[in-house]
Chains A and B, each alone.
Chain A
């Protein structure tokens, strides 16, 4: 079974630039999550999708972050414009509804904002 795919793995940008991350979840997983993980901390949920609908985006900084999940499969997360404090690892995870919410994670994208 293929795992959660993410790209790119690394990205370095300057502040005020824009960046986009892509995620392909495990086939058949209806729920998709984007997390932000700052060094030394646990993952912080940014947005949760159920199929192509948003379940929770209460912690997404909507003035600069946006996410979509077209057709209920792939998802993209965008930051525009980036700030220094956005430097973090962005993790995508997916889960199969009804499976006690075990989440499967991609390798993450390490973003450095200079």
Chain B
């Protein structure tokens, strides 16, 4: 079953703008991860944030986590055409046997 829900389902922005995607989940987690999927490189891990962290940065990516609201956001700054992809959040729930539970993804299109 899918725990995470990404919002919006689809997002189209101009190159150079910032893109924000949100993820909500249902149960307590150990960590939350964001992955990117495009036709060229398949599913690739982007960033992991632990349940005791509130914000994390990696290059042009910024992830926040609010465990009280059971939600996370992924911000991509200064978007590029190569950022066009689907973005998924995946939660590692407590007592999950090292399983990830996935949302349905946000489809991001960067217009040149």
Q: Which residues of A does B touch, CB under 8 Å?
A: 31, 33, 40-45, 48, 50, 55-56, 91, 93, 95, 97, 100-108
Contacts and interface: CB of A to CB of B under 8 A. Distances in A.
Contact of B45 (A40, A56, A91, A102): A102
A40 to B, nearest CB: 7
Contacts of B50: 100
A44 B102 CA distance: 7
Contact of A40 (B42, B48, B102, B104): B104
Most chain B CB atoms below 10 A, which of A42, A43, A102, A105: A42
B99 A48 contact: yes
Interface string B73-111: 000000000000000101010000111101111000000
A-B pairs with the 10 shortest C-beta distances?
A42-B102, A105-B43, A107-B42, A101-B92, A101-B98, A42-B104, A43-B102, A102-B45, A42-B103, A42-B88
16 contacts: A41-B104, A42-B90, A42-B104, A42-B105, A45-B99, A50-B98, A55-B98, A100-B31, A100-B50, A100-B92, A101-B31, A101-B92, A102-B48, A103-B45, A103-B90, A108-B43
B33 interface: yes
A113 to B, nearest CB: 21
B97 A56 contact: yes
A32 B78 CA distance: 35
Contacts of A102: 33, 45, 48
A109 to B, nearest CB: 11
A55 B42 contact: no
A88 B30 CA distance: 29
